[in-house]
């Protein structure tokens, strides 16, 4: 696996740890790529314990010294990132190691929001909620996991909280009555960027969005947003700046029509491929996602993002990208990180070994709830297909547990609880049908 260019450690003991971590990382990558069987908790925990031991040795060698980052740190980061995604894959989503990859993604998103200065309160709310959930996980993690890992995650959490606080403060200057306009302009700007990166460019689509911007522009008085008394609203300059940016971007997009210069075409194609893959996964994730698959996408995005020089993308000759290319590539990177974040927080607390059963029960529950909300069934006979499916799933258990071979996968409580909910819904519908006189069809 490619690791970004960082100098090897000078210390001999660190060099030995680097060799060992490289071996562990390669084992993790092999395990990630093996689709012939489900990932087992015991296989993940074996490698997790080995990484924790290497971390302990690093801490002993460095003894709190603030050393410049070297290749050891980068390989360790790869190991922790992979292990974090493995913990999600085996259903241990509420344990500290699972939080590592999530905090990495949140930090990236917050850095990009800080850089772009274009975001709404809605962008921050989800991450704020996730960070609160991670706080609760970390409070219960001390007795279960490496103190180093817990401390590392706590430090990352604080960085994310500080960024969130700064971003929220910047929004506070907006008058309440302007926030809706501000959010609408952000939505329009992102919609134009989406239209700009579609396989088939539509000028009509962008022109409709441009018309919405002009409509907002016409609501200004003398170039300012004012109240009913003609007084300039707080944050008027900020919203006006965004509006001007939207108008310029609409003109640029309509002029360029989605055509990327040849010297940045290869990078664009890679990012389009990543964005499209992640978009598909966001639709089908319950059935097709193995969380460890996100590692390769994240590494590729990190590599492209970190290749920028002073914030700018450059071609092979070192020439910086023009504004159109710069914004287009950044949009794709940010959109892709957003999808990764969504897929991570959507991860179910169930091992991938049990996901097929869990997903079937989720579908059954949705169907039964829909039947209940639409007035129930006319007769008990209408419930037979649901009852047969539920009993067939119930019969898969051995001594009350869902087994895969001799293994007891993680997430038994979640699956069993969902099965019980479905039986309860089915029972309620049966009783209602019998009381309504529909039980004679049995």
DSSP 374-397: TT--SSGGGGHHHHHHHHHHHTTE
The tokens for 315 are 């071609």
User: Is residue 177 within 8 Å of residue 225, measured between CB atoms?
Assistant: no
Alpha carbon 394 to its chain centroid, in Å, reads 33
pLDDT of residue 297: 96
Residues 52, 21: contact at Cβ < 8 Å?
A: no
Q: Which helix (H) or strand (E) holds 269?
A: helix 265-288
Q: Coil, helix or strand for 199? A: coil
> How high is the mean pLDDT of the chain?
92
Show pLDDT as tens, one digit a residue, over the chain (442 residues): 444 467 888 888 989 999 999 999 999 999 999 988 899 999 999 999 999 999 889 888 887 676 677 899 999 999 999 999 999 999 999 999 999 999 999 999 999 999 999 999 999 999 999 999 999 988 887 677 888 888 889 999 999 999 999 999 999 989 999 999 999 999 999 999 999 999 999 999 999 999 999 999 999 999 999 998 899 999 999 999 999 999 999 999 999 999 999 999 999 999 999 999 999 999 887 677 889 999 999 999 999 999 999 999 999 999 999 999 999 999 999 999 999 999 999 998 999 999 999 999 999 999 999 999 999 988 899 999 999 999 999 999 999 999 988 889 999 999 999 999 999 999 999 999 988 875 554 4
Q: Reduced to 3 states, what is the DSSP secondary structure of residue 10?
A: coil
Instruction: Determine whether 442 is exposed, middle or buried from the number of CB atoms within 10 Å of its CB (0-12, 13-18, 19+).
Output: exposed
Q: How far apart are CA 336 and CA 298, in angstroms?
A: 9
pLDDT for the residue 1:
41
DSSP letter for 293, please.
Answer: G
Tokens of residue 307, six digits = 């290749």
How far separated are the first and last CA of the chain, in Å rounded? 61
Region of 319 please: left (phi>0), alpha (psi -120 to 50) or beta. beta
Tell me the two tokens of residue 111: 């850095």
On whether the CB atoms of residues 70 and 14 are closer than 8 A, the answer is yes
Contacts of 398 by beta carbon, 8 Å cutoff, 6+ apart: none
Query: What integer pLDDT is reported at residue 418 of this predicted model?
Result: 96
CA distance 172 to 174: 5
Q: In degrees, to the nearest 5, what angle opens at C-alpha 132 toward C-alphas 127 and 133?
A: 95
Rg (CA), the chain: 26
pLDDT at residue number 292: 94
Q: Which helix (DSSP H) or strand (DSSP E) does residue 401 occupy?
A: strand 401-402
pLDDT at 70: 86
Predicted confidence at residue 286, as pLDDT, reads: 64
Q: How far is CA 326 from the centre of its chain?
A: 23
DSSP letter string over 67-103?
Answer: PPP-HHHHHHHHHHHHHHHHHHHTT-TTSHHHHHHHH
Contact 17, 58 (CB under 8 A): yes
Specify the pLDDT at position 9: 82
Q: What angle do CA 353, 358, 361 make, to 5 degrees?
A: 150
pLDDT of residue 126: 93
Q: What's the rounded Cα separation, in Å, for the pair 29 and 292?
A: 9
**402-421: string of b/e by CB count within 10 Å (b at 16+)?**
beeeeebbbbbebbbebbee
């Amino acid at each position: 696996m490619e690791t970004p260019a960082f100098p090897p450690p000078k210390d001999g003991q660190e060099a030995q740890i680097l060799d060992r971590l490289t071996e562990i990382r390669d084992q993790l990558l092999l395990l990630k790529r093996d689709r012939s069987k489900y990932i087992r908790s015991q296989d993940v925990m074996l490698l997790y314990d080995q990484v924790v031991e290497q971390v302990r040795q690093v801490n002993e060698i460095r003894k709190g010294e603030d050393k410049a980052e070297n290749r050891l740190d980068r390989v360790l980061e790869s190991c922790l990132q992979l292990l974090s995604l493995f913990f999600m894959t085996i259903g241990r989503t509420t344990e500290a190691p699972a939080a590592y990859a999530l905090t990495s993604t949140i930090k990236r998103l917050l850095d990009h929001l800080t850089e772009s200065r274009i975001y709404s309160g809605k962008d921050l709310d989800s991450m704020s909620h996730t960070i609160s959930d991670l706080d609760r996980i970390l409070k219960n993690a001390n007795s279960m996991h490496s103190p180093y890992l817990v401390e590392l995650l706590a430090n990352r959490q604080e960085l994310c909280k500080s960024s969130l606080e700064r971003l929220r403060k910047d929004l506070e200057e907006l008058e309440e009555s302007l926030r809706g306009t501000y959010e609408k302009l952000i939505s329009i700007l992102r919609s134009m960027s989406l239209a700009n990166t579609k396989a088939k460019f539509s000028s009509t689509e962008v022109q409709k969005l441009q018309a919405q911007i002009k409509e907002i522009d016409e609501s200004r008085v003398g170039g300012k947003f004012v109240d009913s008394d003609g007084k300039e609203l707080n944050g008027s300059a900020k919203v006006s700046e965004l509006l001007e940016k939207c108008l310029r971007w609409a003109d640029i997009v309509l002029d360029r029509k989605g055509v990327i210069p040849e010297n940045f075409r290869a990078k664009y194609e890679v990012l389009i491929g990543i964005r499209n893959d992640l978009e598909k996964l966001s639709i089908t994730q319950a059935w097709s996602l193995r969380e460890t698959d996100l590692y390769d996408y994240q590494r590729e995005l990190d590599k492209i993002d970190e290749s920028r020089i002073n914030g700018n993308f450059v071609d092979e000759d070192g020439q910086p990208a023009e504004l159109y290319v710069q914004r287009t590539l950044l949009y794709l990177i940010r959109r892709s990180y957003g999808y990764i974040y969504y897929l991570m927080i959507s991860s179910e607390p169930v091992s991938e070994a049990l996901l097929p059963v869990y997903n079937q029960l989720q579908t059954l529950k949705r169907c039964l709830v829909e039947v209940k909300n639409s007035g129930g069934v006319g007769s008990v006979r209408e419930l037979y297909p649901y009852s047969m499916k539920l009993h067939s799933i119930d019969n898969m258990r051995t001594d009350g547990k869902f087994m895969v071979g001799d293994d007891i996968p993680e997430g038994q409580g979640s699956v069993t609880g969902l099965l019980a909910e479905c039986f309860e819904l089915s029972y309620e519908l049966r009783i209602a049908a019998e009381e309504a006189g529909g039980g004679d069809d049995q």
